[in-house]
Amino acid sequence: MSKTPKHVSGSHDRAVRKLVSQLKNEGWQVKVDLPNRRQPDPVGKDGRIPDIQATKRGRTKLVEIETPSTVNSHKQQASTFRRSAAQKKNTSFDLVIADDD
């Protein structure tokens, strides 16, 4: 199983934390792929982990944060999340591009 290493960019983690805070303020229950946090559920046959999995009133959001330097190399991962969301009722996928450091 191939996993993409996380937590390699300060700007990535800052963007994740900022969006988690925003989602929580909007009433979403949030799981986040950061150390010592409740982790999102694995997605797809390779068990890829989105940066954020948020739920609210029967809806689910999968969110992946990329930087300009990683967005092209992580296209397959984003495709897995997009496909999974499309196959599930009330589930959406958002790809967010954060600034590089």
Which domain CATH number covers 88?
3.40.1350
Query: Between 75 and 100, whose confidence is greater?
Result: 75
pTM, two decimal places: 0.89
Query: Is residue 3 a part of any domain in this protein?
Result: no
Query: Is residue 5 a part of any domain in this protein?
Result: no
Query: Is residue 4 a part of any domain in this protein?
Result: no
Query: Between 101 and 16, whose confidence is greater?
Result: 16
Query: Is residue 50 a part of any domain in this protein?
Result: yes
Show the domain range for 33.
Answer: 10-97
> How many domains does the chain fold into?
1
Cα dist from 65 to 57, 89, 97, whole Å? 23, 22, 6
Contact assessment for residue 98 and residue 12, using Cβ atoms and an 8 Å cutoff: yes
Instruction: Identify the residue whose tokens are 């982990």.
Output: 49
What's the pLDDT tens digit per position in 53-99?
999 999 999 999 999 989 999 999 999 999 999 999 999 999 999 98
Q: Which long-range contacts (CB under 8 A, 24 or more apart) does 13-16 make?
A: 14/98, 15/65, 15/96, 15/98, 15/99, 16/51, 16/52, 16/65
- Ranges 2-16, 22-36, 41-55: which has the least confidence: 2-16
The whole-number pLDDT of residue 100 equals 76
Angle at 89 between CA 51 and CA 24, to 5 degrees: 40
